[in-house]
A = this chain, B = another copy of it.
Amino acid sequence: MESKFNRPLAITHPIEMEDRIKLSHGAGGESMTGLIKEHILTHFAPTNDGNREIKIGIRQLDDSAVVGDTVFTIDGHTVKPLFFPGGDLGSLAVAGTVNDIAVMGGEPLAMASSFIIEEGLPMETFERVCESMGKTAKAAGVPLVTGDTKVVEKGSIDKFMVITSAFGKMSPYLKSNLDEARIYRPLDTEWLKDSNLAEGDVIIVSGNIADHGVAILSGREGYGFDTNIKSDVAPINGLIGEALKVGGVTVAKDPTRGGIANTLNEWAEKSKVGILIDEERIPLAKGTLAACEMLGIDPLNVGNEGKLVLGVVPGKADGVLAALRAHPLGKNAAIIGRATSKIRGVVMETLVGGKRIVEPPVGDPVPRIC
């Protein structure tokens, strides 16, 4: 199947492609990291220099920034279609931002939303998205306190995009969680940073991977496949809270664009430690696997919107796993591997008994999943 997301970009711009923005620059993988490092940090980062209040800034390329005792994040949502099995633009816009605060060890306190709407959007569509945002905000326990609305002329934007921002403070469970980890090894940080992973830490995923990306595709016209797969979109601040109460969590991430392959490669690179995972243990629904095989995409690279990947000190892994499984969003949680200095990067022991390198994805194979 020659699908849209595989079309060679060079067809559109045969010349000077290197000097233009490509879809992969926004797909959450290596290409996006390159764009940020080469073209954004040059201009933004100098303004951070010398400001000791910035504990985690834009240079760290983490899920949120930490300024003083405030955790802060923003996320644009351009999902297509607006409504898909299991969710919609509204639930996604709220969950995505809540989750970015939560995986730093933050407790989100309030959200803001910016609407960019195409002239002519049916009011009913607009209101359904607002309703979904309100419901998801209520489920997460995080109020929407301010916003902005822009309407652009027909053809200037594809229907409707929602950008959300949130701020929060440190989770009340974070300090004791890190103290529990320190019983096992030194850990010089106040927050769940991508660079915290160390030799021996156990990797846990909170449930079936890749459902979100597959649900998005099945919701698009012209893909010609039928699945019962629903997006996992959900706020996971409650779920991570249960893990932090147990303690020993050193690093956390919601594996969105680029999937768990991207998450694990970011950790391996920033923490300077290898990660060995076991294919057999990775929770994956049969229908999702079948769809990925049909589309020729790797489920490890497909985005999730309600999952949590954790690194946990060995002595606490079973306790954290049990806590996740006791939560409605973590029933299928599983230990999928561990950090080891014996390898570099991310390596997977495959079902057939071999080993393969899990490459950092260039980007997510499914465009506009979030």
Contact = CB atoms under 8 A, between A and B. Distances in A.
Given A44-B143, A116-B161, A157-B161, 7 more contacts: A20-B122, A20-B123, A47-B143, A72-B167, A73-B112, A73-B146, A80-B156
Contacts of A75: 114, 148
A343 interface: no
Interface residues of A, number: 91
Interface stretch (A35-43, A213-221, A223-231, A319-327): A35-43
Label chain A's interface by main secondary structure. Answer: mixed
Interface of A: 4, 9, 12-13, 18-27, 32, 35-36, 39-40, 42-44, 46-48, 51, 53-54, 57-58, 64-65, 67-68, 70, 72-78, 80, 109-110, 112-124, 126-127, 130-131, 133-135, 137-138, 142-158, 161, 163-165, 167, 367-368
A67 B124 contact: no
Given A73-B146, A74-B112, A74-B147, A126 B21 contact: yes
Given A20-B120, A65-B110, A72 B152 contact: no
A97 to B, nearest CB: 9
A54 B144 CA distance: 10
Contact of A74 (B19, B24, B165, B368): B165
B153 A367 contact: yes
B368 A144 contact: no
B112 A72 contact: yes
A328 to B, nearest CB: 21
Given A21-B119, A74-B165, A114-B76, A58 B151 contact: no
> How many copies of this chain sit in the oligomeric assembly?
2
Contact of A130 (B27, B39, B48, B167): B39
A135 B43 CA distance: 8
21 contacts: A9-B119, A21-B122, A23-B151, A26-B115, A35-B149, A40-B147, A43-B127, A47-B144, A53-B109, A58-B145, A65-B145, A67-B110, A70-B70, A72-B146, A74-B114, A74-B147, A75-B148, A116-B116, A152-B158, A157-B158, A163-B163
B130 A43 contact: yes
A212 to B, nearest CB: 16
